[in-house]
Every structure is written in structure tokens, then in C-alpha cells.
């Protein structure tokens, strides 16, 4: 199974730790929406999609099973977020380049993806 696409949406002017939202497509068949990119005390971290099961208690709906899988998600999503931030893109899509051949999900790198900035909807409407 490979991460075949990543979508990043940066949030600006938030008064919370929430910096952005990501969606990850696996094998062009399954999409995981609402992965939150959060600002920690000294670094970024991911919060996987969750649902509230009782007041102030949440359970992840989807989550990596092991630390290698989590690190792969973090490495790719954080690299995409940093690309969007450094180039002032509100939205950014990464798609796995055609012909990329890796033996394992964990071997994917940011260089394996084509970067496609998406126009800001507000800017697009004004033009």
C-alpha cells in the first residue's frame, strides 16, 4: 500500500494550535480526511481523525498501527505543509509521480511526489 496523494489546506489567522488540515489517499482507493496539523510546544504534530464518544473523550477513527507508519505520515505531511507555508500556498496537492517504484510504504520520500499548488478560491473568484 502506498500514499498516492496528499492534500494540504493551510489555515491562517487561527487563534488555536490548528495550522492545517490534510487528506491522504492510499493506493488511489481510500482517502483519510481531517488529519489535523497542530502546533505543539516545540514542534508540529498530527492528530488523526477522531470522534467524540462521551464529553471530553475522543477515540481515533483511523490511526497508524506502528511508529514507522506514523513517522512516514508525519514526514510527508509536514514536508508538504512546510512547502505550502514557505511558498504562501493556501492549498497544495502532492501526487505520486508516475513510475515511482518503492518496495515499501516507509521508503516514500517527498521527492517521489509532484507538487501542485491549488489557487486560493478567494483569489480565483476575484480574478
- Global pTM exceeds 0.75: yes
| Sequence-separated (6 or more) residues with CB below 8 Å from residue 108 | 2, 3, 72, 76, 96, 100, 102
CATH 3.10.20.340 fits 3-126, yes or no: no
Nearest CA-CA partner of 32 in 84, 76, 67 = 76
Per-residue confidence (pLDDT) for residue 103, from 0 to 100: 82
Per-residue pLDDT of the chain (127 residues; tens, 9 = 90+): 889 999 999 987 767 899 999 999 999 999 999 999 999 889 999 999 999 999 989 888 998 999 999 999 999 999 999 999 999 889 999 999 999 888 888 999 999 999 998 866 544 444 4
Question: What residue ranges do the domains of the chain occupy?
Answer: 3-126
Alpha-carbon gap, residue 102 to 72, rounded angstroms: 13
Amino acid at each position: 500500500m502506498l500514499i498516492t496523494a496528499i492534500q494540504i489546506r493551510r489555515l491562517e489567522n487561527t487563534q488555536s494550535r490548528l495550522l492545517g488540515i490534510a487528506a491522504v489517499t492510499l493506493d488511489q482507493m481510500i482517502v483519510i480526511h481531517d488529519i489535523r496539523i497542530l502546533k505543539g510546544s516545540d514542534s508540529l504534530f498530527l492528530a488523526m481523525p477522531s470522534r467524540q464518544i462521551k464529553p471530553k473523550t475522543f477515540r481515533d477513527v483511523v490511526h497508524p498501527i506502528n511508529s514507522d507508519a506514523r513517522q512516514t505520515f508525519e514526514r510527508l505531511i509536514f514536508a508538504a505543509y512546510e512547502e505550502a507555508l514557505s511558498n504562501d500556498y493556501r492549498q497544495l496537492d502532492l501526487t505520486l509521480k508516475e513510475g515511482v517504484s518503492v518496495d515499501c510504504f516507509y521508503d516514500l520520500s517527498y521527492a517521489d511526489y509532484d507538487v501542485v499548488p491549488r489557487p486560493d478560491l478567494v483569489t480565483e473568484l476575484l480574478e
